[in-house]
Copies of this chain bind each other. A is one copy, B any other.
């Protein structure tokens, strides 16, 4: 079954899970996450807050992987159906938990100080982007892993699309005659939470090496030179 838009082609479980974005084109310039409940009934808003608070507490207590929708509902003194109506599915709930951090990051990209925000040359912004996203991902790794969308939706998820779009734009400035959309996917893939998790937690690489890998990757992809290269050894690779 193919998808026509963002949400599943099948009819949504309820009138509308509310937590999704509008038409696809919107997020091209928007934040990738719609504004906080534009018009939410008083009780609904209260329940939403309760749910988020409960979820946050449960994650802190038992870890994101162990978070169940039912437990959140119970902890918030609310019916299970309410959780799903509000957040669509487990992924949506986890995404909501990440929303704050997400927005902050997006804001920093769009209007923060350089080199992350506008004002610096594109390659420098790319470098900063990767390092910042790396930091953020390490920070929120548990939520990111637990909240990963299914394979079919992964690349269509608004936050990812937003970041991808950002990278694409920077690349177009840096390497105008390349297929920047594809190249952006490559760069984004390097920063994917499951990969970071694998590298840092399973393989035990120091984050410094991962960061150096990003800088090198940007250099290669944009066919520029690494900053500060040649003075230190080129990553020792204690492979196994």
Q: Give me the interface of A with B, judged by CB distance under 8 Å.
A: 1-3, 25, 28, 63, 65, 145, 148, 151-152, 154-156, 168, 177-183, 185-186, 189-190, 192-195, 197-199, 201-202, 209-210, 212-213, 216-217, 220-221, 223, 234-235, 237, 239-240
Contact = CB atoms under 8 A, between A and B. Distances in A.
A66 to B, nearest CB: 9
Contact of A240 (B28, B212, B223): B28
A148 B190 CA distance: 18
Contacts of A28: 240
B223 A223 contact: yes
- Copies of this chain present in the complex amount to 2
Query: Among the interface residues A63, A152, A192, which one has the most CB atoms of the partner chain B within 10 A?
Result: A152
7 contacts: A3-B202, A152-B194, A152-B197, A155-B198, A177-B234, A179-B235, A182-B190
Given A178-B216, A179-B209, A183-B220, 9 more contacts: A156-B202, A177-B234, A178-B234, A179-B216, A179-B237, A182-B213, A185-B199, A189-B189, A189-B190
Nearest to A186: B190
A155 B202 CA distance: 9
Contacts of A25: 240
B189 A156 contact: no
A177 B235 CA distance: 8
Given A181-B239, A186-B217, A235-B179, A2 B195 contact: no
